[in-house]
Chain A
Amino acid sequence: MWKSKVWNLTLLSTILRRRPTLLSISHFQSNSTSHFPPTISRTSYFDFLGNPNFPGKTFCSESAEKSHVHVRCWSCGNVANGSLFLFCDSCRSIQPLDQSVDYFQIFGLERKYDIGVENLEGKYKDWQKKLHPDLVHSKSEKERGFAAEQSARVIDAYCTLSKPLLRAIYIMRLEGVDVDEEETLSDPELLSEILEIREAVEEAADSQELNQIQSQMQEKLDHWSSSFANAFQCRKFEEALNSIRRMTYYHRVNEEIVKKL
């Protein structure tokens, strides 16, 4: 399900988003009060496929500098308080996509792996109530474009953060560590374990057996999820990557089981 060849995906989606991109560029040319460099709009939304792709470390540090610059609303010129600026509180206009705002910031969370997933849905709905394209039907085409991109990004953010594995991969990428999900398995111990489990899944006689394997997988996932959390906190990225690898394989087994159930 996850693809590593980001450049491919980027390519197709860049072509697809041609129109909104053109739109936002024309906006930047016509509106000199805007403080957004056009490059931000050109890097518009390309994290689909549950593939959290984003400009990376350099861009993030840029955003830290940028937070000193006052960001102005493109519509009413109001200066935003705080760095998070998806939506203008003053005139309720949706702002152009700012890739430097990461998923954790969108949800008002500290950038750490252990987050309370239960509160995500509420915040997600709050954002959608402000950003969803359905609600800006009567606004300008420009703002409808912003709404589509912002809303899609909030959906991605929600999906990514609410799933432990995707969240782990995402937070690693925020640290500049790329996770190759398509790499071939080199650890012989893990390989034989996985093959064994797969065989068990294939030979499972009934749904009860499958459920049993599934709960075993869930236990393993929970275990490796917490070891990821530890490794990540201690910035032991090699160990963290190992945990992600484990989680990826157990997750795939779960997918197989769901298919069979």
Chain B
Amino acid sequence: MAEPAYTVASDSETTGEDKSSSAFPEIAIGIDVGTSKCSVAVWNGSEVELLKNTRNQKMMRSYVTFKDDIPSGGVSNQLSHEHEMLSGAAIFNMKRLIGRVDTDPVVHSSKSLPFLVQTLDIGVRPFIAALVNNVWRSTTPEEVLAIFLVELKAMAEVQLKRPIRNVVLTIPVSFSRFQVTRIERACAMAGLHVLRLMPEPTAVALLYAQQQQQAVNENIGGASEKIALILNMGAGYCDVAVAATAGGVSQIKALAGSTVGGEDILQNMMRHLLPDSEILFSNHGINEIKSMGLLRVATQDAIYKLSSQTSVQIDVDLGNELKICKVVDREEFEEVNRKVFEKCESLIIQCLHDAKVETKDVADIIAVGGCSYIPKIRNLVMSICKRQELYKGMNPLEAAVCGAALEGAVASGISDPFGSLDLLTIQVTPLAIGIRVEENNFVPIIPRNTTMPTRKELAFTTVRDNQTEVLIVVYEGEGEKVGKNHLLGYFKIMGIPPAPKGLPEINVCMDIDASNVLRVLAGVVLPGSRHPAIPVMEVRMPTVDDGHGWCAEALDRTYGSALDLVTVQKKI
């Protein structure tokens, strides 16, 4: 077969780069872009090494400051004081904002951050801006993340003395496929090619698999399968995974995750210390931003202290005759954040349930991420698993990035003479993917925690006599109603031969291939026929663009329930 004269990257391809590798692959670096902090690691030929910036830091603050004309990020920038980051000129918490619309509660809770997050509440991308010389300069979460990634890239290039292109990035479990495309977009803007995106706890699972493999090689442990429960809770997200590890292969059994983390704990505490803080700060004047920054720093400081001491004295002058002078003990702190801790608990229980694993079968409990230092978090995970201690073999702040670096080396085709890279993670789908049916119900076609690559199919039918068109609206998530889930895309099937309702069989097939690309196929078959009545539709998802919150509503307004479908009921 002749080679095609030229190829065009698919329009839905966010990177626009060809995926084939050269004969001598470069080792992809691992990046863990946290909500609050970020780190970079690489396989150096014998082990994973964390890269340091010029100030000898391994963990860099994830933020970008817009000063004068040149933005600068937390990789290279030297803050004169913590408060500089809270002056309105710096944008941070990008990971909580990226790929979300302005009706999202997470975006709303970001409105108390000391930069501008404006919502119109109509389902479009929120407006974010930094204060530069008393002007609110607009930007986007993707742009901010890209500026930050460019700095990381430059830092790695200086240290590794080679150009960096391929990266493995860690992402939260609860990220939708649409959010993933936004991350890929930011990487492409920074000139980086995403070799792989790993849910954070699966990166930790890979590191665990390698450690277990080494223990086997050194005859410390047996070669049998070990089940690990991994809790990864940082500033923005809480993720849980159950992984079964043997022989360097880590099979993810289940994933669970939610947008809950240190940022929520911080905001709860700020509200506790100053009950009407949000109203006070809502107009984003220069003085208010300054006060907000002061309160944030003082609260953060207090939370850190409460991890090692049982009570803390908070003394802060917010200006405008607003002073806070209060003693907070650990019990009070835990009560204020009760909902956060309950959410963590339910995620762990759900994950164990989905994995069909009994707590007695869990060999190791791994708690990582910044929040794993909070005594309550450590206690709750231990008490659910009925254990006295946590796994000690990992640095809680470096585990995810180390796993990403291992994956980077494995995916780049690097092998290690000592078998240290004889590793594999078998991933599962973190969220269910399905379609909208009658009455805005969500029917999953690929359930969550399905081993990838995968392909599943379900049969649907029409709800009206002589219905010639149906709307296939694809969602991702766990809600029973589509409104709670993420819209990925939609298309219409037209020209269904007129038939009584319930007769045409509309088969919807979803396929996730080895590169984690999702394709949705839909075909129509009439009873007694062996062939599709009309050509089958094949659509690569997600197809939605920014402002997709609008689309669902517009579809609803335009079509109502006229083009609905229902699942074909199973006979008893």
Contacts and interface: CB of A to CB of B under 8 A. Distances in A.
B244 interface: yes
Interface in A136-176: 136-139, 141, 144, 147-148, 151-152, 155, 159
Interface in B453-470: 453-457, 459
Interface stretch (B174-182, B263-271, B376-384, B511-519): B511-519
Given A29-B1, A185-B572, A194-B572, A13 B509 contact: yes
Interface in A22-51: 22, 25-26, 29-30, 48-49
A235 interface: no
Interface string B240-252: 0000101111010
Interface stretch (B33-41, B154-162, B406-414): B406-414
Given A13-B509, A121-B244, A134 B411 contact: yes
Interface string A166-202: 0000000000000000101100000100110010000
Contacts of A5: 505
Interface in B80-115: none
A16 B521 contact: yes
A184 B248 contact: no
Interface string B406-446: 00001111000000001011100000000000000000000
A257 to B, nearest CB: 14
Interface in B533-572: 536, 538, 570-572
A16 B572 contact: no
Contacts of B425: 134
B168 to A, nearest CB: 11
Given A122-B225, A128-B426, A148-B513, A12 B247 contact: no
B118 interface: no
A8 interface: yes
A15 B521 contact: yes
A129 B455 CA distance: 21
Interface residues of B, number: 47
Contacts of A182: 570-571
B514 A15 contact: no
A107 to B, nearest CB: 16
B344 interface: no
A132 B455 CA distance: 16
A148 B20 contact: no
A148 B505 CA distance: 29
A148 B454 CA distance: 10
A159 to B, nearest CB: 8
Contacts of A194: 572
A223 interface: no
A57 interface: no
Given A12-B523, A16-B455, A48-B454, A138 B536 contact: no
Contacts of B231: none
Contacts of B457: 3, 9, 12-13, 48-49
Contact of B1 (A12, A26, A184): A26
A184 B249 CA distance: 43
B366 to A, nearest CB: 20
B21 A148 contact: no
A137 B571 contact: no
Contacts of B572: 185, 191, 194-195, 198
Given A11-B523, A48-B457, A185-B572, A129 B248 contact: yes
A260 interface: no
A117 interface: no
A66 interface: no
B247 A129 contact: yes
Contacts of A15: 521, 536, 538
A149 B516 CA distance: 14
B124 interface: no
Interface residues of A, number: 47
A125 interface: yes
B451 interface: yes
Nearest to B224: A122
B532 interface: yes
Contact of A125 (B20, B251, B514, B530): B251
Nearest to A183: B571
Contacts of B538: 15-16
B453 A148 contact: yes
A147 B514 contact: yes
Contacts of A195: 572
A148 B426 CA distance: 13
A155 B507 contact: no
B550 to A, nearest CB: 31
B71 interface: no
Contact of B507 (A8, A129, A144, A252): A8
Contact of B195 (A136, A137, A198): A137
A204 to B, nearest CB: 18
A144 B513 CA distance: 11
Contact of B410 (A9, A26, A135, A147): A135
A136 B424 CA distance: 11
A133 interface: yes
Given A12-B521, A12-B536, A138 B426 contact: no
A129 B511 contact: no
Contacts of A152: 453-455
B514 A133 contact: yes
A126 interface: yes
B363 to A, nearest CB: 15
A184 B509 contact: no
B435 to A, nearest CB: 15
Given A8-B507, A29-B1, A134 B514 contact: yes
Given A12-B521, A16-B509, A194-B572, A121 B246 contact: yes
Interface-centre pick from A12, A126, A184, A191 (highest chain B CB count, 10 A): A12
B98 to A, nearest CB: 25
Given A125-B249, A128-B249, A135-B410, A48 B455 contact: yes
- From A3, A7, A138, name the one whose CB has the most chain B CB atoms within 10 angstroms: A138
> Quick one: which of A133, A144, A147, A152 has the most chain B CB within 10 A?
A152
Contact of B509 (A7, A12, A252): A12
Contacts of A7: 530
Contacts of B511: 13, 16
Given A138-B21, A152-B454, 10 more contacts: A3-B457, A8-B523, A12-B523, A13-B511, A25-B1, A30-B1, A49-B455, A134-B514, A147-B514, A191-B572
29 contacts: A8-B523, A9-B457, A11-B523, A11-B531, A12-B521, A15-B538, A16-B521, A48-B457, A49-B457, A121-B244, A121-B251, A125-B246, A125-B251, A126-B247, A129-B422, A129-B424, A134-B425, A135-B410, A137-B21, A137-B195, A137-B413, A138-B413, A139-B413, A148-B453, A148-B513, A155-B451, A155-B454, A159-B451, A185-B572
5 closest Cβ contacts across the A-B interface? A138-B413, A133-B514, A26-B1, A48-B455, A125-B249
